[in-house]
């Protein structure tokens, strides 16, 4: 009865959550307090959405932990490239690079001698030359990792995202060169100090949240986004309320409406308990 009344009054919120550095603590776990707060929010009629740069397979378990599957929530993967209702398995949108454009981008990245990877059909293809980075990434994403020294010159498939890894100094230069070369054809953002993510034009976490909100009939002002780094900026600025974790980059904090506690100190739960939960 309470849920029905809440929806009739159009008071429900769409709560979008980044994973790494936001929902997940330094152990890559979700604390009990945060799990409880998110379940209570969903019991009260609010909708929870995971918004991450990760692939679907490595984000699903975290969505299940906070009961997003039980209450009919969503996952946005690849920075908005793939949106799924994980209760019904309905794919809301699946935005990939046009194959010829993907080839052009990868050829250009090859010329810059930057490490990159692309995910296709549960396999990660990479030109990584660092053995330790290769092992770490394989463990982190839980996918089959295929090292390909052919530089993908025979690509016959497309992908939602390209990931680049290098030092922040080199990536800043790389980002500028890529933006100049492919102006208007892609989106590019930092996801950590040593990685940037490239997605098709007009694809971002922020746009994915608004797309889900429109589908649910939730006004933009009733959307709340939590994030901590560059690839979260679009949803922090586009959503009705943008909440930065205290451990966020300065760039993100500067555009947020509110700064909550860190990901290691239940920042999401503290905000929800104070401003959303009844």
Distance CA 171, CA 242 (A): 26
Joined together, the tokens standing for residue 55 give 């692939």
Q: In the chain, how many domains are there? A: 2
Query: Is 211 domain-assigned?
Result: yes
Task: Please identify, among 200, 221, 244, the residue that sits at the C-terminal boundary of a domain.
Answer: 200
Distance CA 185, CA 199 (A): 9
Which residues fall within 8 angstroms of residue 169, CB to CB, at 6 or more apart?
none
Distance CA 87, CA 216 (A): 14
Query: Is 239 domain-assigned?
Result: yes
Distance CA 87, CA 28 (A): 24
How high is the pLDDT of residue 1?
53
In a shared domain, residues 89 and 223: yes
CB 3 within 8 A of CB 45: yes
In a shared domain, residues 184 and 269: no
pTM summary value: 0.90
How high is the pLDDT of residue 157?
83
DSSP character for 134? H
Q: What are 24's strand-pairing partners?
A: 20
Measured in degrees and rounded to the nearest 5, phi and psi for residue 52 equal -140, 160
In a shared domain, residues 140 and 174: yes
Query: Is 1 domain-assigned?
Result: no
Query: Is 3 domain-assigned?
Result: no
In a shared domain, residues 57 and 118: no
How high is the pLDDT of residue 223?
98
* Full DSSP string of 168-229: HHHHHHHHHHHHHHTTTTEEEEEEETTEEEEEETT--HHHHHHHHHHHHT--GGGEEEEE-S
Joined together, the tokens standing for residue 129 give 């030359």
In a shared domain, residues 27 and 88: yes
Query: Is 180 domain-assigned?
Result: yes
CATH number assigned to the domain comprising residue 33: 3.40.50.1000
How high is the pLDDT of residue 117?
86
In a shared domain, residues 79 and 23: yes
- Kindly give the parts of the chain with pLDDT less than 70: 1-10, 121-122, 129-155
| Domain coverage including residue 57 | 10-95+203-276
Tens digit of pLDDT for each residue in 259-275?
999 999 999 999 999 99
In a shared domain, residues 124 and 248: no
Query: Is 4 domain-assigned?
Result: no
Query: Is 2 domain-assigned?
Result: no
In a shared domain, residues 82 and 213: yes
Distance CA 231, CA 229 (A): 6
| Strands 115-120 vs 162-165: parallel, antiparallel or unpaired | antiparallel
In a shared domain, residues 27 and 148: no
Query: Is 141 domain-assigned?
Result: yes
In a shared domain, residues 103 and 195: yes
Which residues fall within 8 angstroms of residue 95, CB to CB, at 6 or more apart?
80, 81, 82, 160, 199, 200, 203
Angle in degrees, 0-180, between the axes of helices 168-181 and 99-111, rounded to the nearest 10: 140
In a shared domain, residues 131 and 196: yes
Which residues fall within 8 angstroms of residue 196, CB to CB, at 6 or more apart?
163, 164, 171, 174, 175, 188, 189, 190
Task: Please identify, among 200, 231, 266, the residue that sits at the C-terminal boundary of a domain.
Answer: 200
Task: Please identify, among 148, 182, 200, the residue that sits at the C-terminal boundary of a domain.
Answer: 200
Which residues fall within 8 angstroms of residue 213, CB to CB, at 6 or more apart?
14, 219, 220, 222, 223
CATH number assigned to the domain comprising residue 176: 3.30.1240.10
In a shared domain, residues 89 and 129: no
């Amino acid at each position: 009865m309470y849920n029905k009344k809440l929806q009739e009054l159009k008071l429900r919120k769409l709560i979008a959550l980044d994973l790494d550095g936001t929902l997940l603590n330094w152990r890559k776990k979700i604390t009990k307090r945060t799990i409880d707060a998110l379940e209570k929010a969903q019991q009260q009629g609010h909708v929870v959405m995971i918004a991450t740069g990760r692939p679907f397979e490595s984000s699903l378990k975290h969505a299940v932990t906070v009961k997003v599957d039980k209450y009919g929530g969503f996952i946005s993967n690849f920075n908005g490239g793939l949106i799924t209702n994980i209760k019904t398995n309905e794919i809301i949108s699946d935005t990939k690079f046009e194959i010829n454009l993907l080839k052009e981008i990868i050829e250009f990245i090859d010329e810059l001698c930057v490490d990159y990877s692309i995910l296709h059909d549960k396999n990660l293809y990479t030109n990584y030359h660092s053995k330790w980075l290769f092992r770490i990434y394989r463990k982190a994403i839980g996918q089959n990792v295929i090292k390909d020294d052919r530089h993908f010159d025979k690509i016959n498939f497309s992908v939602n995202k390209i990931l680049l890894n290098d030092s922040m100094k080199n990536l800043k230069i790389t980002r500028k060169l890529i933006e100049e070369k492919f102006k208007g054809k892609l989106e590019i953002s930092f996801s950590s100090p040593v990685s940037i993510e490239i997605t098709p034009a007009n694809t971002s976490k922020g746009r994915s949240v608004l797309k889900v909100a429109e589908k649910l009939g939730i006004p933009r002002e009733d959307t709340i986004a939590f994030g901590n780094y560059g690839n979260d900026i679009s949803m922090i600025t586009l959503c009705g309320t943008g909440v930065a974790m205290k451990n966020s980059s300065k760039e993100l904090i500067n555009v947020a409406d509110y700064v909550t506690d860190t990901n290691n100190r239940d920042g999401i739960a503290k905000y929800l308990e104070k401003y959303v939960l009844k």
